Amino acid sequence: TPLFVIENLRAGIEGKEILRGVNLVIERGEIHALMGPNGSGKSTLAYVIAGHPNYEVYEGRILYKGENVLELPPDERARMGMFLAFQYPTAIPGVTMANFLRLAVNSVRKARLGEDKALSPREFRRLLREKLEMLRMDESFASRYLNEGFSGGEKKRAEILQMAMLEPEFAVLDETDSGLDIDALRTVSEGVNRLFNPNMALLVITHYQRILNYIRPHYVHVMLDGKIAVSGGPELAEELEEKGYDWVKEQFAEAA
């Protein structure tokens, strides 16, 4: 079975249908990019995958390792090895990144490996140091209070550090490039590339092609009006960068 499958997903918010029949199959070892104009439903898809309580699912399934995760709460999805950036709190007063990460890592480890597999404080610090080094991040970063006074770039780096620590098998990154200057974009992307491995898969959501120069996708999908209108290889992203989204809209209108 594929690692991650979306079948005829229809979902929305407050009775308003936004996703109108999404289908997607992602195998281990693959990086997929989801592109599309503003308002096409990309973030809605990310929220529904994450299990955000504001969103309603009208039809369809999301299978992770063959199990329909739409029936599971967000924390259960995380414990199964899915990484969804938004399920993390935006700011918790008085909690450092290291403390937060220790709780998150141990919760996932206990669920995936067994109750006795929580890391001791010393083991945790070693793992944290290893990941910080891999991501070329300063050790002081982990002592910062969670998201307190974080710049856009720091929030994105914190997200990548969380991802590195949790060692997920499937991760969704929504607009990881937004608000990053070119140096921060390169640092964050290199971090993602370093932690990617053939046992996992990645869904990178982006309006602009720019981040895909650094994180090279195997497949590119274009979402239009709540549906995946076109899928292709990496060259599709370049074509979109050159020609914009209008030609997809025209072709899709003809086909519909």
The tokens of 174 are what? Answer: 């929504």
Residue whose CB is less far from Mg ion, 38 or 54: 38
SS3 198: coil
Strands 170-174 and 82-84: parallel
Q: Is 168 in the site for ligand ADP (CB under 6 A)?
A: no
Provide the minimum distance between the beta carbon of 143 and ligand ADP in the complex, in angstroms, as a whole number.
33
- CA-closest candidate to residue 166, choices 84, 253, 50: 84
Binding mask 171-210 for Mg ion (x = CB under 5 A): ----------------------------------------
Please check whether residue 130 is in contact with residue 122, taking contact to mean a CB–CB distance below 8 angstroms. no
Q: For residue 68, what are the β-bridge partners? A: 63
Q: Is 86 in the site for Mg ion (CB under 5 A)?
A: no
206 interface partner picked from ligand ADP, Mg ion, none, CB below 5 to 8 A per type: none
Instruction: For residue 79, count other CB atoms closer than 10 A to its CB.
Output: 18
At 62, phi and psi to the nearest 5? -125, 110
181's torsion region: left (phi>0), alpha (psi -120 to 50) or beta?
Answer: beta
187 interface partner picked from Mg ion, ligand ADP, none, CB below 5 to 8 A per type: none
The DSSP symbol for 96 reads: B
Among 2, 7, 27, 43, the residue binding Mg ion under the rule CB under 5 A is 43
CA distance 233 to 143: 41
Residue whose CB is less far from ligand ADP, 13 or 184: 13
Provide the minimum distance between the beta carbon of 51 and ligand ADP in the complex, in angstroms, as a whole number.
15
Q: Is 38 in the site for Mg ion (CB under 5 A)?
A: yes
Provide the minimum distance between the beta carbon of 129 and Mg ion in the complex, in angstroms, as a whole number.
34
Please check whether residue 61 is in contact with residue 53, taking contact to mean a CB–CB distance below 8 angstroms. no
Considering only residues 10 through 69, tell me which ones interact with ligand ADP, judged by CB under 6 A: 13, 16, 18, 36, 38-44
Q: Considering only 31-39, 90-98, 182-190, 194-202, which stretch makes contact with Mg ion by CB under 5 A?
A: 31-39
Angle, alpha carbons 169-221-43 (nearest 5°) = 70
- CA-closest candidate to residue 191, choices 151, 160, 170: 160
Residue whose CB is less far from Mg ion, 80 or 188: 188
* Interface residues toward ligand ADP, by CB under 6 A: 13, 16, 18, 36, 38-44
**Binding residues vs Mg ion (CB under 5 A):** 38, 42-43
